[in-house]
Amino acid sequence: MDSLCSMWLVLLFGVYCEAQLRKEAYMTVPNLIKAAGYPVEKHRVYTRDGYILQMHRIPAGRRIVRRIDEPSAKGKKVIIIVHGLGGSSGDFVIMGPEKSLSYILADAGYDVWLANLRGTDYSSHVNLTKNEQKFWEFSFHEHGKYDLPAMIDHVLNVTGQEKIIYLGHSMGTTSFFTMMSTKPEYNDKVSFCVAMGAAVYLENVKPVAKLALVNLNITNMMRERGVWGIHPSMVQGAVKNLCTLNQPEVDLCTNFIFSIIGEDREQHDLDIFPIYLHRIQMQPFRSLEHFGKIALTGVFTTFTGGVNGPVKPYNLTNVRVPVTLVYGENDQLTEKSQILKLAEELRSIGVLEEVRPACSWPKFNHFDFLFAKDVGKLLNKPLVKLIDKLYNKYNTA
């Protein structure tokens, strides 16, 4: 947040801190990409159950002059990047060209496709509006069963490639595993997967899930009031009224968020954090409940029958592509112990490529994958080297 945005300004002139956010808080993702000097394309993808998703493609880096008749060079390395809960394609561009993964990959010769799952600003439905409950009753089950297959088919169709590289953060990894479990034929369309902060086992959040979903029954209580998720306006209202984000040491909001994702003051970016909170997307209750069911049962289970319904594990043995798991040492949401548990399972079925820390920084938390002050140097530049290595290993044919 701007240093001008101090309490006395707010009090004297009634200025909202929000009004002083940088323009990055308000720009669309395609405009952000254009402003950064990269080519960008918007693609409309239809899912089998009627959702319309907008993908954002960065087909080339800054320094490469693209021939208009040849938008994607043959043999180009195609990668799809999938965001987490409350996120969007914007998660991978708002840090700018030196830091954000999309740009570093594009400059390294990748054809970058940013996914937008149903529920983001870049999604709609052929028949339903966002005011209808039916629009919002989905979780990573539907992301994996409908959204990802539709987007992957579209990308393969446009690029003429046979396989894509898959990279996900948080729920973007959960969706990968639900896709492979429910539609194993997609193993043939992915060469390898890099999963950052994989959210498959969540026993560490069991107490929170129990309190919110069982004891307080918050989501159903809210549904009865016509609310289908944590709406961005609720977050922005809280930020405006309760938070002093520019003083993180004393700010209740920052400390609350740290308690969920892991504390990392050193890498906490004061400029970017309010922008992220301003760009946050609706978090549907169904998605939170599905994560809650996984936390409560300790099983990577479907949502069949709801939170209290039967436990029906996703069949992870259907995963047949190599998976690299990347964890944050101080990620309190997708905790290392839980990622190591997933790693054991993937190892036992022979698909674990590697499980590795994001970097050597011991306080690396769940958001640092996207917004750490030094995310370019700490994570993304080495990550692109890793992806290069895996690409050469698995795409030699």
What angle is formed at CA 250 by the lines to CA 94 and CA 213, rounded to 5 degrees? 75
CB nearer ligand NAG, residue 41 or residue 251: 41
Task: Identify which of residues 127 and 131 has a Cβ nearer to ligand NAG in the complex.
Answer: 127
Active-site choice (91, 107, 147, 331):
331
Q: Would you call 170 a catalytic residue per the annotation?
A: yes
Tracing tokens 């973007």 back to the chain, one arrives at 172
Residue 217 CB, shortest distance to ligand NAG, in Å, is 4
Nearer to ligand NAG, 220 or 337 (CB): 220
Residue closer to ligand NAG by CB (options 133, 317) is 317
Q: How far is the CB of 174 from ligand NAG (least distance, A)?
A: 18
Q: What is the three-state SS of the chain? A: CCCCCCHHHHHHHCCCHHHHCCHHHCCCHHHHHHHCCCCCEEEEEECCCCEEEEEEEECCCCCCCCCCCCCCCCCCEEEEEECCCCCCHHHHCCCCCCCCHHHHHHHCCEEEEECCCCCCCCEEECCCCCCCHHHHCCCHHHHHHHHHHHHHHHHHHHHCCCCEEEEEECHHHHHHHHHHHHCHHHHHHEEEEEEECCCCCCHHHHHHHHHHHHHCCHHHHHHCCCCCEECHHHHHHHHHHHCCCCCCCCCHHHHHHHHHHCCCCCCCCCCHHHHHHHHCCCEEHHHHHHHHHHHHHCCCECCCCCCCCCCCECCHHHCCCCEEEEECCCCCCCCHHHHHHHHHHHHHCCCEEEEEECCCCCCCCCCHHHHCCCHHHHHHHHHHHHHHHHHHHHCCC
251 catalytic? Reply is no
Shortest distance (Å) from residue 34 CB to ligand NAG: 25
Closer residue to ligand NAG in complex, CB, 37/160: 160
331 part of the active site: yes
Smallest distance from ligand NAG to CB 173, Å: 20
Which positions lie near ligand NAG, rule CB under 6 A? 49-50, 126-127, 153-154, 157, 214, 217, 220, 224, 315, 317-318
In the bound state with ligand NAG, the residue whose beta carbon lies nearer, of 6 and 318, is: 318
Q: How far is the CB of 113 from ligand NAG (least distance, A)?
A: 14
Residue among 123, 191, 366, 368 flagged as catalytic = 366
As measured in angstroms, the least distance from the Cβ of 100 to ligand NAG is 29
Catalytic residue among 139, 170, 175, 191: 170
Q: Which residues are catalytic?
A: 170, 331, 366
